[in-house]
Amino acid sequence: MPDASHPVPRQLDVLIVGGGLAGLYAIHRLRKLGLKVRAYEAGSGVGGTWFWNRYPGARCDVESLEYSYSFDAELQQDWKWPERYGTQPEILKYINHVADRFDLRRDVQLDTRITSAAFDGKANEWTVTTDGGEEIRARYCVMAAGNLSTPRVPDFKGLKDFKGKWYHSGLWPHEGVDFSGLKVGVIGTGSSGVQMIPIIAQQARHLTVFQRTANFSLPARNTPMPEEKERKHKAEYPQRRAAAMETPFAIAGHDKPTRSALDVDKAERDASYEAKWQEGGSISYLYAYTDLLVNKASNDTASEFVRNKIRATVKDRKTAELLAPKDHPIGTKRLCLDTDYYETYNRPNVSLVDVRSDAIESITETGLKLGSGAAFDLDAIVFATGFDAMTGALNEIDIRTTDGEALRQHWEGGPLTYLGVMIAGFPNMFVVTGPGSPGVKTQMIASIEQHVDWIADAIDHLHRHQLDRIEPTAKAESEWVEHVNRVADSTLYPLANSWYMGANIPGKPRVFMPYVGGFDRYKKHCDAVAAKGYEGFTLSRHETVAI
Ligand code: NAP
């Protein structure tokens, strides 16, 4: 008999972790199968990445007409994107619109963090607990917790003594921050830093940028949405969405390259890089030639072109050389898109400090100190220092199999998955765009839809065959991991110390996590696996024990 201190656990068909773009689409798609679903979201609103990352200048680097859901034809016709690239507030508004339009909110529990999930083999279900002490049971779990959702502030000593204010890009205050008249330090020059630096520079009395590794950045060339472009794109939406499925980045509208960068002479090559530089956007640039991400000599030509642009823009020679990346081929770390990033270093109130040659030693009461003893007085510090990417969100949850093995143990040497969507030994738990899938290397919403559709089809397949359990074999998992590594090793990606490799987190295993064989190849493979009766998975029926 239940009592108030031991309430009956909520019983679900599918528990979803996360109320971002993936969690919301999962609710919509799985509901259509008649399943009882509920998403649990740590934030006080839906939106995931776009709920948390409110730093100045936050904007998507994929064009807004592409970076949007494709599952509903009317939605994509109705929504008006005001600019070429969506700003964070605009994308969050869109996500909230979707939540209302498809009545998704009633199945989202906000302000709730999932803390553990344990599979009970006898009952054939997951027992999941929340930070509020609630217990939920579910036949299936869909982990839609995001790849860049675990913000990381480096473990600098002294941070607690800092008398000013500090912020992380991924945990930005909702009320915004006014840096007017302040001495500000930004640590980190990845996509987040590159977007916020030009805007903070306009407000701050002085901005000091602490750079460890220079990143390549291309001009976004954002504009208000041209009416004709929108009209044409919307008229062609079905064909464009279908065409995106046939590309490596799940983004349509770029002519497929046909030649190696080394097949043409320097003048022709530079003319094509210049055209792409003027056009703006990163996909277009990396798609200039067939081999920019697999042939170092080809890549050198594209890298040097951008380095020369930096040298031509930044007036101080020493600063320009520091900003010109030389330690990795262009595109092997996430390529940044910016508005006036390099120009910002010509402002008299901005300085660049190289913390590669002289590392940050500590945060002090009044600022920060480098190993050499050089000290900087700061009123505010912004950490644009990134995330525990791809594995952080799942490793924060205590996930255990029926025999007690923890996911953290299973992933001790790096993440192991089959297709990036399931894990051997963890039945009925799906991961959306997990490590081993191309998600983070693509137009993320397309990858989310592809995964959620695949997961929904798998669950539907089980039900239609009176089955209720699916898990990958250990063999399929290890062969997939080997394949992911082999593909990565055939490219230039492993040459960069990136978050794709776990390199930004001290002690994290250095394993290349995303699948870089291309979205098109990957989707075909996933479809073939399903068509062959879920090859590499064990599907079964379990007599469930009444609870
Ligand atoms: P990030 O790319 O991981 O960059 C973190 C930066 O902090 C790097 O410059 C890193 O230097 C530096 N850093 C970390 N620890 C440091 C330390 N102890 N001392 C000095 N510097 C340190 O993180 P992010 O910029 O937040 O971007 C993460 C990803 O989110 C992006 O790659 C992208 O996929 C996504 N994102 C997208 C957009 C967009 O769509 N426009 C915007 C923001 C983010 P090292 O390189 O030397 O490690």
pLDDT tens digits, 1-11: 445 555 787 99
Task: Read off the pLDDT band of 543 (50, 70, 90).
Answer: low
Q: What is the pLDDT of residues 297-311, one digit of tens each?
A: 999 999 999 999 999
Residue 157: phi and psi, rounded to 5, are -75, 150
Q: What is the DSSP letter of 441?
A: G
Q: How many CB atoms lie within 10 A of CB 71?
A: 16
Token pair, residue 109, equals 């529990």
Rounded (5°) CA angle 461-462-465: 85
Gap between the Cα atoms of 253 and 244, Å rounded: 8
Assess if residue 321 is contained within a domain. Answer: no
Q: Find out whether 448 and 441 touch, Cβ atoms under 8 Å.
A: no
Closest CA to 335 of 371, 380, 284: 284
Q: What is the pLDDT of residues 175-195, one digit of tens each?
A: 999 999 999 999 999 999 999
What stretches of 21-147 adopt beta strand conformation (E)? 37-40, 59-63, 85-87, 108-109, 114-120, 125-130, 135-143
Q: Whose CA is nearest to atom 17 of ligand 1?
A: 154
- Ligand 1, residue 191: give the atom nearest the CA: 25
Q: Whose CA is nearest to atom 31 of ligand 1?
A: 191
Assess if residue 44 is contained within a domain. Answer: yes
Q: What is the pLDDT of residue 394?
A: 96
- Ligand 1, residue 60: give the atom nearest the CA: 40
Q: What separation in Å is there between the alpha carbon of 393 and the centre of ligand 1?
A: 17
Q: How many CB atoms lie within 10 A of CB 163?
A: 10
Q: What separation in Å is there between the alpha carbon of 383 and the centre of ligand 1?
A: 9
Q: Report the percent of the chain where pLDDT is more than 70.
A: 98
Q: What separation in Å is there between the alpha carbon of 227 and the centre of ligand 1?
A: 34
Is the pTM higher than 0.85? The answer reads yes
Q: What is the pLDDT of residue 9?
A: 79
Which residues is 39 bridged to in the sheet? Answer: 16, 108
Q: Whose CA is nearest to atom 4 of ligand 1?
A: 190
Gap between the Cα atoms of 137 and 13, Å rounded: 8
Assess if residue 488 is contained within a domain. Answer: yes
Per-chain mean pLDDT for the chain: 96
Task: Read off the pLDDT band of 547 (50, 70, 90).
Answer: very low
Q: What is the pLDDT of residues 453-464, one digit of tens each?
A: 999 999 999 999
Q: Which residues line ligand 1 (CB under 6 A)?
A: 59-61, 148, 154, 169, 187-193, 195, 210, 212-213, 334, 337, 355, 360, 384-387, 499, 504
Q: What is the pLDDT of residue 546?
A: 44
Gap between the Cα atoms of 418 and 434, Å rounded: 10
Q: Which residues of 84-113 are buried (b: 16+ CB within 10 A; e: fewer)?
A: bbbbbebbbebbbebbeebebbebbbeebe
Assess if residue 225 is contained within a domain. Answer: no
Inform me whether the pLDDT recorded for 268 exceeds 70. yes
Q: What separation in Å is there between the alpha carbon of 464 and the centre of ligand 1?
A: 45
Q: What is the number of structural domains in the chain?
A: 1
Quote the longest CA-to-CA distance of the chain.
81
Residue 517: phi and psi, rounded to 5, are -80, -5
Assess if residue 67 is contained within a domain. Answer: yes
Q: Find out whether 289 and 298 touch, Cβ atoms under 8 Å.
A: yes
Alpha helix locations (H) across 324-426? 341-344, 392-395, 407-410
Q: Whose CA is nearest to atom 37 of ligand 1?
A: 191
Q: What is the pLDDT of residues 324-372, one digit of tens each?
A: 999 999 999 999 999 999 999 999 999 999 999 999 999 999 999 999 9
Assess if residue 196 is contained within a domain. Answer: no
Helix axes 266-279, 296-313, angle to 10 degrees: 60
Q: Over the Cα atoms of the chain, what is R_g?
A: 24
Q: Find out whether 287 and 271 touch, Cβ atoms under 8 Å.
A: no
Q: What is the pLDDT of residues 73-92, one digit of tens each?
A: 999 999 999 999 999 999 99
Instruction: Give Cα separations from 465 to 309, 359, 469, 526, 541 (angstroms).
Output: 59, 59, 11, 20, 9
Gap between the Cα atoms of 251 and 245, Å rounded: 8
Mean pLDDT of 375-400: 97
Residues whose CB falls within 8 Å of the CB of residue 68, separated by 6 or more in sequence, listed in order: 76, 79, 81, 94, 445
Q: What separation in Å is there between the alpha carbon of 169 and the centre of ligand 1?
A: 10
Q: What separation in Å is there between the alpha carbon of 401 and the centre of ligand 1?
A: 33
**In which order are the strands placed within the sheet that holds 206-211?**
165-168, 380-383, 183-187, 206-211, 350-354
Q: How many CB atoms lie within 10 A of CB 501?
A: 24
- Ligand 1, residue 194: give the atom nearest the CA: 25
Assess if residue 51 is contained within a domain. Answer: yes
Mean pLDDT of 95-108: 98
Q: What separation in Å is there between the alpha carbon of 514 and the centre of ligand 1?
A: 17
Q: Give 6 or 394, the one with higher predicted confidence.
A: 394
Q: How many CB atoms lie within 10 A of CB 445?
A: 20
Beta-carbon-side half-sphere exposure of residue 220 (alpha carbons within 13 Å): 25
Inform me whether the pLDDT recorded for 282 exceeds 90. no
Task: Read off the pLDDT band of 442 (50, 70, 90).
Answer: very high
- Ligand 1, residue 355: give the atom nearest the CA: 20
Domain range holding 50?
10-150+389-540
Closest CA to 513 of 382, 419, 414: 414
Q: Whose CA is nearest to atom 2 of ligand 1?
A: 190
Which residues is 279 bridged to in the sheet? Answer: none
**Rounded to a whole number, what is the distance in angstroms from the first to the last CA of the chain?**
12
Q: What separation in Å is there between the alpha carbon of 190 and the centre of ligand 1?
A: 4
Q: What separation in Å is there between the alpha carbon of 534 and the centre of ligand 1?
A: 37
Closest CA to 151 of 15, 42, 24: 42
Inform me whether the pLDDT recorded for 545 exceeds 50. no
Q: Report the percent of the chain where pLDDT is more than 90.
A: 95
Q: Using DSSP bridges, classify how beta strands 367-370 and 375-377 pair: parallel, antiparallel or unpaired.
A: antiparallel
Inform me whether the pLDDT recorded for 450 exceeds 50. yes
CATH of the domain at 24: 3.50.50.60
Q: Whose CA is nearest to atom 33 of ligand 1?
A: 191
Assess if residue 34 is contained within a domain. Answer: yes
**CA 157 to chain CA mean position, Å:** 28
